[in-house]
Chain A
Amino acid sequence: MEQTKKVVSEAEAIQMLRQYNEDLLPKKFGIIGKSWAAFLLIVFLTGVYCYTNQLRQGLAITGMRDYVFWGIYISNFVFFVAISLVGSLVTAVLYLMNVPWRAPLTRISEVIAVAAIVFAGLIIIVDMGRPDRILNMFIHGRIQSPIVWDVLVVTTYMTLSILLLYFPLLHGIAFCRDNLKGIPKWQKWMYKILSLGWKYKTEQYNVVKKAITILSVMIIPVALCIHTVTSWLFASTYRAGWDSTNFGAYFVSGAFLVGAGGVIAGMYLLRRFYSNYDRYLTDHHFDRMGKLLVLLAVVYGYFSINEYLIPAYKMKGEEAEHLHELFTGYYAPMFWSVQFFGIILPIIVLLFKKGRKPLPMFIMAICVVVGAWFKRYLIVIPTMSMLPVQEIPEDWKHYTPTFQEWSITCGSLAGALLIITFFVRFFPIISVWEIAEERGIDHDTIYKHLNESNEK
């Protein structure tokens, strides 16, 4: 590691730092940014409005009924938990492995993780029949129930993720505090409070680095736990399609894949809308992330084969019925599209060097993320129509999400994107000091440079 570091002369370093700071300070949105935020806000608020309807009328406004009793709220929850795992992948795993190209990607992945896990928590409350009784979880909570495990690990992961986003950000907030000119008073206050009196001192960096190392070690098992426990919500039942010992690994591997897809999409969009970002999110980074995505897709493909091939070999009663529905029945078009666009096509495209250029990578990343959302739909919903369905109204047998249900679900997705969007607007999305460090500039130089610029 030490050998790969370039040694930079002081003058050169200060030149580079000045450049970084200029490039990476958060900027005001242009017309595209503003309309994007407005669009998200409208979708989000429509979802909130529909949720107030649901609070009044109950879950009757959804398409769920006694046979298909978990719908897109739950599959969306699984999706959120899945995509939030990327925080631990890029920030923690790549950090501990000393992967040199990770620095500009950490904050993108961490903010995706925080936004997703916050909305995972919210959407699961939306799914509750009696959200007013949520405190019962603490008053009467039973540790034997996987739901209680899920609450414990999701809140733990949320805390660790927020800290892992916040500690490395202190430098950035302080820098905004000192260098952003002509900003409203509240924004100045926000930076002042959030920067916790950061003074760019070497001791402070050392404390933060120590904290990042500890958090990175802690967050990896917790990340594995959140998605494994989420898979157990299904695997701990007797139902065909859920009753599988493969579920934990299957879910975790799928989660890393969709998370990597999310980060690539974020990288591309940032590069597209901020002119100087291609200096930091270079083709090299796309190339590396592309290779990582192929690896993750292959691993996920492996667990998917495990998940479907062995039951398909046995064709046991209810399992057979379930697999027929997926392979050739009602869900077949969705099932095969998801497998093809979500796993197979990205592997093929990204194996070629030309495929690992930003634009094709972006398209593949969108395929992976959208495919992953529908994959969760296919994991959650078809299983529930496998029980004796007699004596129930015709429309209970099939599940079609209602408009309000879609609206609430889209609202949650828009909400998560809003968190990311506002974050990009107000905070540096690429970590200056980590990049400086990656490129061989030591703390003393950073410190000197910043104090100089502050004195001016």
Chain B
Amino acid sequence: MLIKIALDRVTVYLSGEIDHHEAARLRPQIDDALMRKRPAEVELDFSDVTFIDSSAIGLVMGRFRVIEAWGGKVAVSGLTARQKRVMKLAGLDRIAEFRESEKGDNTNESDQQNASDGSGQVG
């Protein structure tokens, strides 16, 4: 995980598999950056994430609770279609803005198969 701190925003580049075990490990590191900077926005970038379960929903909800204390906002980027499906089960699109990642589309997981079906996106 890489945390980029700019003037008024914190961007968290997540990678690998985000489950309950990983979320517990990442949470204090993210919150440490948030509490120190009190940014107007935190963006969680999932571009390099290959797996999520409902613990990733908990991770986004939990960060929303932290940042809303000072009126900050949460954005989520770089989700695969499948990851969006999980996130939307929780209605997360109501508390966080879903957007494209500056790093481009997440082609991990099942999306990779679609990409190799002749659309020429295989890297």
- Do A and B pair up? The answer is no
Question: Which residues of B pack against A, CB within 8 Å?
Answer: none
